[in-house]
Amino acid sequence: MPASSSTDTNTAELTTVVFSKNDCPACTSTKRQFTNKGLPFVEINVELDTAPRDEFGGLTPLEHVIENYGRQMPVVVVTDDLDQDDAWSGARPDKIFGTIARFRDAGLLIDIVPE
Protein backbone atom coordinates (compact mmCIF):
# COMPACT_ATOMS: atom_id res chain seq x y z
CA MET A 1 0.00 0.00 0.00
CA PRO A 2 1.75 3.22 -1.10
CA ALA A 3 2.08 6.14 1.24
CA SER A 4 2.03 9.68 0.05
CA SER A 5 1.81 13.22 1.22
CA SER A 6 0.94 16.13 -1.02
CA THR A 7 0.29 18.79 1.59
CA ASP A 8 3.93 19.83 1.96
CA THR A 9 5.96 20.58 -1.14
CA ASN A 10 9.12 19.54 0.75
CA THR A 11 7.69 16.09 1.52
CA ALA A 12 8.13 13.43 -1.09
CA GLU A 13 5.60 10.83 -2.05
CA LEU A 14 7.07 7.64 -0.64
CA THR A 15 6.40 4.07 -1.72
CA THR A 16 7.93 0.92 -0.25
CA VAL A 17 7.93 -2.47 -1.95
CA VAL A 18 9.17 -5.58 -0.13
CA PHE A 19 10.09 -8.46 -2.43
CA SER A 20 9.92 -11.58 -0.28
CA LYS A 21 9.85 -15.36 -0.49
CA ASN A 22 8.46 -18.18 1.62
CA ASP A 23 10.39 -19.47 4.64
CA CYS A 24 12.62 -16.39 4.83
CA PRO A 25 13.29 -15.21 8.41
CA ALA A 26 14.78 -11.90 7.24
CA CYS A 27 11.68 -11.27 5.08
CA THR A 28 9.38 -12.00 8.01
CA SER A 29 11.39 -9.77 10.35
CA THR A 30 11.45 -6.85 7.90
CA LYS A 31 7.71 -7.04 7.26
CA ARG A 32 7.00 -7.35 11.00
CA GLN A 33 9.10 -4.26 11.80
CA PHE A 34 7.36 -2.21 9.12
CA THR A 35 3.91 -3.42 10.20
CA ASN A 36 4.55 -2.86 13.91
CA LYS A 37 5.66 0.73 13.27
CA GLY A 38 2.81 1.50 10.86
CA LEU A 39 4.92 1.78 7.73
CA PRO A 40 2.77 1.06 4.67
CA PHE A 41 4.32 -1.25 2.08
CA VAL A 42 3.44 -3.49 -0.83
CA GLU A 43 4.67 -7.07 -0.58
CA ILE A 44 5.49 -9.08 -3.67
CA ASN A 45 6.23 -12.73 -2.88
CA VAL A 46 8.45 -13.86 -5.75
CA GLU A 47 7.54 -17.52 -5.20
CA LEU A 48 3.80 -16.91 -5.42
CA ASP A 49 3.70 -14.07 -7.95
CA THR A 50 5.24 -15.73 -10.99
CA ALA A 51 3.53 -13.96 -13.89
CA PRO A 52 5.52 -11.55 -16.06
CA ARG A 53 4.63 -7.91 -15.40
CA ASP A 54 4.71 -4.89 -17.67
CA GLU A 55 6.06 -2.77 -14.79
CA PHE A 56 9.14 -5.04 -14.77
CA GLY A 57 9.67 -4.92 -18.52
CA GLY A 58 7.94 -8.24 -19.08
CA LEU A 59 9.99 -10.02 -16.42
CA THR A 60 8.58 -11.99 -13.53
CA PRO A 61 9.12 -10.40 -10.10
CA LEU A 62 11.90 -12.93 -9.38
CA GLU A 63 13.65 -12.20 -12.68
CA HIS A 64 13.34 -8.45 -12.00
CA VAL A 65 14.83 -8.83 -8.53
CA ILE A 66 17.75 -10.99 -9.70
CA GLU A 67 18.52 -8.69 -12.62
CA ASN A 68 18.42 -5.49 -10.55
CA TYR A 69 19.24 -6.40 -6.95
CA GLY A 70 20.70 -9.91 -6.74
CA ARG A 71 19.38 -13.04 -5.07
CA GLN A 72 19.44 -12.19 -1.36
CA MET A 73 16.00 -11.67 0.19
CA PRO A 74 14.18 -9.63 1.13
CA VAL A 75 14.71 -6.86 -1.35
CA VAL A 76 13.27 -3.56 -0.15
CA VAL A 77 12.82 -0.70 -2.61
CA VAL A 78 11.84 2.74 -1.33
CA THR A 79 11.02 5.29 -4.00
CA ASP A 80 9.99 8.90 -3.89
CA ASP A 81 9.26 11.65 -6.35
CA LEU A 82 12.41 13.60 -5.41
CA ASP A 83 14.81 10.99 -6.86
CA GLN A 84 16.02 9.95 -3.42
CA ASP A 85 15.43 6.25 -3.97
CA ASP A 86 16.91 3.53 -1.78
CA ALA A 87 17.12 -0.23 -2.17
CA TRP A 88 18.75 -3.00 -0.21
CA SER A 89 18.63 -6.74 0.32
CA GLY A 90 18.98 -9.08 3.26
CA ALA A 91 18.67 -8.46 6.97
CA ARG A 92 19.44 -4.74 7.38
CA PRO A 93 18.19 -3.33 10.70
CA ASP A 94 19.98 -0.06 9.96
CA LYS A 95 18.02 0.35 6.72
CA ILE A 96 14.75 -0.78 8.30
CA PHE A 97 15.03 1.78 11.10
CA GLY A 98 16.20 4.47 8.66
CA THR A 99 13.17 3.86 6.45
CA ILE A 100 10.82 3.96 9.43
CA ALA A 101 12.40 7.27 10.50
CA ARG A 102 12.03 8.65 6.97
CA PHE A 103 8.30 7.83 6.91
CA ARG A 104 7.87 9.15 10.47
CA ASP A 105 9.57 12.44 9.58
CA ALA A 106 7.29 12.76 6.56
CA GLY A 107 4.23 12.08 8.73
CA LEU A 108 3.36 8.97 6.74
CA LEU A 109 3.25 6.24 9.40
CA ILE A 110 -0.16 4.66 9.91
CA ASP A 111 -1.57 4.70 13.43
CA ILE A 112 -1.74 1.15 14.75
CA VAL A 113 -4.90 0.35 16.70
CA PRO A 114 -4.28 -2.33 19.34
CA GLU A 115 -6.59 -5.31 19.19
Domains of the chain by residue range: 18-105
CA torsion, ordered 7, 87, 38, 74, to nearest 10 deg? 160
Average pLDDT over residues 11-36: 94
Top-level CATH class of 18-105?
A: alpha beta
| Contacts by 102-105, CB closer than 8 A, 24 or more apart | 102/14, 102/78, 103/3, 103/14, 103/16, 103/39, 103/40, 104/37
Give pLDDT tens digits for 31-73. 999 999 999 999 999 999 999 999 999 999 999 999 999 999 9
In this structure, which amino acid lies at residue 84?
A: Q
In percent, the amount of the chain with pLDDT more than 70 equals 87
